[in-house]
Amino acid sequence: MKKSIKGERAITLIALIITIIILLILSGIAIATLTNSGLFAKSKDAKNKYLNSVDKENEELATMNNYITSGRGDTNKISDLIEEVTFEIKNVTGTTIQVQINAKSSNSSDVRGYFVYKNGEVVAVGESNLITIKNLNFKTEYIIKCGIIDKNGKIKESGESKATTVEEEILYDGQKFPSLISGFSPFRGDITTYEESNAFIKYDNFCQLNAMDSYGRVGVNTTDKINLTNIQKIEIDTLLYNNYGSSFIGTAYLGIYDKNDNTLDFTKFIKYSTNATLNNRERKTLELDVSDIEGEYYIKVISLHPSNVSYYAFFVDIYSLKLK
């Protein structure tokens, strides 16, 4: 009997060793395949190209800044074709300030380009007179000044003006905007026409995501990508409940992703599960920390019915969606 047990242990140990060897071989093959395919190299190359483009843009701005700054005290570099430069602040969000630059000139063809100062430094240059200053901080005051380059390469500048970015940026607020009229694309995981399923319903001061039946999934994506650089968090104000009973648990997701789709795939997300019911609804504010995120992403909100209970639903009522 003892010999039998020892034999079985020996066989089990041998099988384990063989399994480990096979896994090591497969791992080696996988690594070799990735290396040979150039995936790592391509990823590194893409990163290097991005960094190079950023460096190039910074160098061009530095050159322009030096040129314009040196021309301030040089009467030979001040434009005699542009009589006056003024600007108007058209739009202010939490991370951007948009300005419209106007030139008083006898001939519109005298203008070759526009530039914008932020706190004394050139931060944007363009051929259009409508320029957006990006990657700003929330609730921060900036000193803005604009200028024009004429066809002879000479400059003319405006006076200064102050602009303060907002404390929060509202993507949706049911109290102010009775419905999600723009900027969002609703979806349901199992069918394509959300109107027919009543999965996405607009009310007077909120919109409702109604995930029904077995493993139903309903949600909204922002229609366009949003630049999350310098944004600290995404906040959504919700009311959560189901129409089944306290034993039924539904889940709300708030996340970001680089694709506009109806999956549960996220670059970063938070989720909250609850068994709140029609008679005991739960008001919940979900906050997703994106302080470590840079670049543009879609924002996605999902109501998930994560069980095989049929003919019942989990509701996520959205009252507001904000960037802070």
**Average pLDDT over every residue of 118-141:** 88
Q: 213 or 239: which carries more pLDDT confidence? A: 239
Give the strand pairing for 217-222 and 313-323.
Answer: unpaired
Out of 1.10.390.10, 1.10.1670.10, 2.60.40.10, 3.40.50.12280, the CATH code matching 52-164 is: 2.60.40.10
- Report pLDDT for 235: 96
Residue 50's identity, in one-letter code, is: Y
- What mean pLDDT, rounded, does the chain reach? 80
**Each residue's pLDDT tens digit, 76-85:** 778 888 899 9
Check residue 93 and give its pLDDT.
Answer: 84
Residue 254's alpha-carbon distances to 172, 267, 269, 274, in angstroms, are: 14, 11, 6, 15
The owner of tokens 């040129």 is 67
For 29-84, what is each residue's pLDDT tens digit? 655 554 555 544 544 554 455 556 566 666 666 766 666 666 565 667 788 888 99
Lowest-confidence pick of 93-97, 190-194, 220-224:
190-194
> Nearest-CA neighbor of 256 among 287, 288, 231, 230?
288
Nearest CA-CA partner of 301 in 203, 183, 213: 183
pLDDT band, very low/low/confident/very high, at 308 (cuts 50, 70, 90): confident
Residues 159-178: tens digit of each pLDDT:
999 999 988 888 888 877 65
Residue 272: count of CB within 10 angstroms of its CB = 16
Domain ranges of the chain: 52-164, 169-323
Q: 3-state DSSP call for residue 73?
A: coil
Q: What is the pLDDT of residue 43?
A: 46
CA distances from 118 to 127, 130, 136, 235, 322 (A): 18, 15, 10, 29, 26
Instruction: Report how far residue 119's alpha carbon sits from residue 116's, in angstroms, rounded to the nearest whole number.
Output: 10
169-323: CATH homologous superfamily?
Answer: Galactose-binding domain-like (2.60.120.260)
pTM of the model as a whole: 0.66
